[in-house]
Amino acid sequence: MEKIKIENVTKIFGKHVNSALKLVEQNKNKTEILKQSGATIGVNNANFTVNDGEIFVIMGLSGSGKSTLVRLLNRLIEPTSGNIYIDGDNISKMNKQQLIKVRREKMSMVFQNFGLFPQRTVLANTEYGLEIRGIPKEERRLKAEKALDNAGLLPYKDQYPSQLSGGMQQRVGLARALANDPDILLMDEAFSALDPLIRKDMQDELLDLQQKMQKTIIFITHDLNEALRIGDRIALMKDGEIIQIGTGEEILTNPANDYVKTFLEDVDRSKVLTVENAMIRPISINIDIDGPKVALQRMREEEVSVVLAVNKTREFKGYITAEDALQASKTGEINLVNYLRTDMPTVAKEMYIQDVLSIISDSKTPVAVVQERKLVGVLIRGVVIETLSASVENEGVSDYVPAT
């Protein structure tokens, strides 16, 4: 379900806005517009939607327009042109009172520098948004304590920000935003001031909170690995333009242009790509009806030495080797059940490749991909390597089950 819709949104800074806007309509880029009009393009004709309950990451380098874009969503910065819809309501047309109501009731923002009041306790900081909304004292205390409890900070409610670590201060900022129970959470570089270990912990906490609360989150970052780790979808920006929108896997496997390819060079793909992205269609036999001659025929056709075995409902049962099938054929066997080997590892297609690399490395066989006990694919070492790095040659694949 669509929660936010951004339609032809442009932000121009400086003089000669109208002439710069005409250049935007002519699809001129940021450099051309600056040269011809003297105006700076913050956001250039942005169009996208964000679904209810989605973590939508907007990322790019400094100057790409990502922070400007998130501030357009709540009109901390006024758009030059275009429309911004929340739940179908066009907030770019709202008056001041209507906008204040939306900001207080529908969205909250978490900043990089925490934004805590040093003279207020943790509890009083968390209550702040509720206080300015006029929520009664006892009610706002209960809501704030619940938010702090969810963030694991309730025991610290009477302390002051200066008594807390950076990571704990950021959690207070997050708890304050969530105490209002907003539909939408805007997070602008919220974790970038934290050291790497605390930053990873905060990412985990955000994902844990999202599982429980299912908010719509717009998350701004310049860190691609952070975007890939937490984002349901990612919008990559450059010079005020959105270059590509997609899931992490879509962007990694199908970069829109050379800029995106360069941006992705240092990414550890094993932490992002799933088994489903690397698995291939297995060569299999029905162990209930197929005998050794069928198995050997399949192996000859496909030039492999192993076939996977399933029953008539595609439940994975094991595998048959060429040696075993040949032995069964020589002895006149018509059923391969007694020759079935069951030591092949299995994994789920949703698992990250990073999490199955050791299984693939240690296994002397392919690895079966199983969903609800049914065979849906197979992983082989060479294809996994090829998926992670196209420059690595697929050596020794004929010892396993190839793609068909």
pLDDT digits (tens, 9 = 90+) for 138-165: 998 998 998 888 778 899 999 998 898 8
Banded pLDDT at 399 (limits 50, 70, 90): very low
What number is the average pLDDT over the span 283-289?
Answer: 92
Structure-model confidence comparison of residues 234 and 174, the more confident one: 234
Query: What's the CATH number for 2-106+182-267?
Result: 3.40.50.300
Query: Which helix (DSSP H) or strand (DSSP E) does residue 319 occupy?
Result: strand 316-321
Token pair listed for 291: 């005998």
- Give the pLDDT of residue 111: 73
Domain residue ranges of the chain, discontinuous segments joined by +: 2-106+182-267, 275-399
pLDDT of 112 higher than 70: no
Positive or negative, the Cα torsion across 149, 151, 155, 156? negative
- For 402, how many CA atoms within 13 A lie in the half-sphere containing its CB? 15
**How many Cβ atoms from other residues are within 10 Å of residue 236's Cβ?**
26
How big is the CA angle at 185 (ends 184 and 186), to the nearest 5 degrees? 120
For the chain, percent helix, then strand, then coil, each to nearest 5?
Answer: 40, 25, 35
Report residue 72's pLDDT band, with 50, 70 and 90 as the boundaries: very high
What is the three-class DSSP state of 209?
Answer: helix
- CATH match for 275-399 among 3.40.50.150, 3.10.580.10, 1.10.3720.10, 3.40.50.300: 3.10.580.10
Q: What is the mean pLDDT of the chain?
A: 85
pLDDT value, residue 114 = 65
Tell me what pLDDT residue 394 has: 32
pLDDT (average), residues 56-85? 91
Tell if the pTM clears 0.75, that is, is over it: no
Predicted confidence at residue 392, as pLDDT, reads: 32
At 370, is the pLDDT very low, low, confident or very high (cuts 50, 70, 90)?
Answer: very high
Residue 403: pLDDT above 50? no
Q: Is the pLDDT of residue 397 over 70?
A: no
